[in-house]
Amino acid sequence: MTDQAASPWPARRDGLLYREPTEADVEVLLQFRNDPGVNHFMVRTSVEPDDLRREVLTIPDSPTDFSCVLERDGELVGMGFLDVVDGAGQPGHPTGTDGLIGYIVRPGHEGVGIATATARALLEAAFGGLGLRRVTAAANLANHASVRVLEKAGMRRERHEVQALWHHELGWLDEVGYALLAEEWAAAHVP
């Protein structure tokens, strides 16, 4: 990522408006981030209102957090997460080169492609806008819809950790990791 990296938002794609969150979004985000259906596979099963407010409202000024909210027909229908992180390696490796993505869809809006569109928009923002080198995402293997979203977005499964995550109802569950390199993304998006 260059020092001058500008926010990739707002952007319009696939019938969705991706934009930075504002104070007016906090109440709606709070409602659905703490919905039991949304939280079912989340490691953080609930978020304190003050924490969520602080996390959301610091996004626009953050040099590394390019998360966004999604609107469809003027209604907030989800959130996309895009964090710029350092890759791993020996001392001296370049920093701020990698991205980590995620998404949540507002209950009542699942199953119509919003998460898949969001994953694609986040990859475009990461590689096309921010110039990142590699983007990763992780999902609970039992979260079939999320795994399907990452596959449909064109990411490559490169990690499968067996019984790696504790779930309060289901016990130890597997986690899968997906990745995509800038050159893989570019090869799949030849104009």
Tokens matching residue 123: 């990859």
Residue of the chain from 1, 76, 84, 114 that contacts ligand COA (CB under 6 A): 114
Full DSSP string of 5-74: PPP--SEEETTEEEE---GGGHHHHHHHHT-HHHHTT-SS----HHHHHHHHHHGGG-SSB--EEEEETT
What whole-number distance in Å separates Cα of residue 82 and Cα of residue 25?
18
Mask of contacts with ligand COA, 6-45, x by CB under 6 A?
--------------------------------x--x----
What whole-number distance in Å separates Cα of residue 103 and Cα of residue 109?
13
Least separation in angstroms between CB 53 and ligand COA: 20
- Which lies closer to ligand COA via its Cβ, residue 112 or residue 186? 112
Residue of the chain from 59, 101, 115, 132 that contacts ligand COA (CB under 6 A): 115
Mask of contacts with ligand COA, 139-158, x by CB under 6 A?
x---xxxx-xx---------
- Which lies closer to ligand COA via its Cβ, residue 44 or residue 189? 44
Single-letter residue type at 133: R
- Which lies closer to ligand COA via its Cβ, residue 1 or residue 105? 105
- Which lies closer to ligand COA via its Cβ, residue 64 or residue 143? 143
Least separation in angstroms between CB 28 and ligand COA: 14
Our finding on whether 113 is near ligand COA (CB under 6 A) is yes
CA distances from 101 to 19, 23, 52, 84, 131 (A): 16, 22, 18, 9, 15
Residue (of 115, 114, 80, 116) closest to 100 by Cα position:
80
DSSP code of residue 113: S
Least separation in angstroms between CB 132 and ligand COA: 19
Classify 176 as helix, strand or coil.
Answer: strand
Judged by CB under 6 A, the chain residues 55 through 84 that form the site for ligand COA are: none
Residues contributing to the site for ligand COA (CB under 6 A): 38, 41, 102-105, 110-116, 139, 143-146, 148-149
